[in-house]
Amino acid sequence: MEYFLIIFSAIFVNNIVLSRFLGICPFIGVSKNTSTAVGMGGAVLFVMTLATIITYLIYTLILVPFDITYLQTVSYILVIAFLVQVVEIILKKVSPDLYRALGVFLPLITTNCAILGVAILVIQNDYNLFESVLFAVGNAAGFALAIVLFSSMRETLDELDIPEVMKGVPVALIIAGILSMAFMGFA
């Protein structure tokens, strides 16, 4: 039951984007097209899960035993940057169309505070390795759910007659706020 609560809470109650407001840049930037949003959700799932596993092991096996926990943030950023480079190389070979569609937002996963935030939250919540993986997968699924829902809403908005001053980012921010309030209902 505890494992279910970790996943459910990460996806719906404490959604990394809509409740904790981490990862807003790719959330707004990549959500214009649903297929691109799905690709970003998959990339974040891969990077977030692996980054959480590796950073957890680094923290528990290296930083704590050698009493150098002050290097936590620096070591986490290096791990995340490395993993994003791996994802970029894989996407370039496997799916060049998705690689081009993600464009500048793929390297921005490196600075996606949602990934770093989850790695730090795992330590703050005192999760073991299995719980950390569940937490990371749940948060990545929550990110993917939020960005796909948001992108489908934005695609619908493009077909509506909206005042010119509200088109683009202004209406996107209003919709993101409404989506955030909808997710608050799970709390």
Cβ contacts of residue 134 below 8 Å, gap of 6+?
Answer: 3, 6, 7, 10
pLDDT at 140: 95
pLDDT at 43: 82
Q: CA triplet 47, 148, 77: central angle to 5 degrees?
A: 25
pLDDT at 29: 82
Alpha carbon distance 101, 184 (integer Å)? 31
End-to-end CA, the chain: 17
pTM of structure: 0.88
- Which string of DSSP letters, residue by residue, matches 119-149? HHHHHHTT--HHHHHHHHHHHHHHHHHHHHH
| Structure tokens belonging to residue 140 | 């990545």
Alpha carbon distance 179, 164 (integer Å)? 22
pLDDT at 172: 87
Domain ranges of the chain: 41-184
Expressed in percent and rounded to 5, the helix, strand and coil fractions of the chain are: 80, 0, 20
pLDDT at 138: 97
Residues of the chain with pLDDT under 70: 111
Element (H, E) at 47: helix 34-58
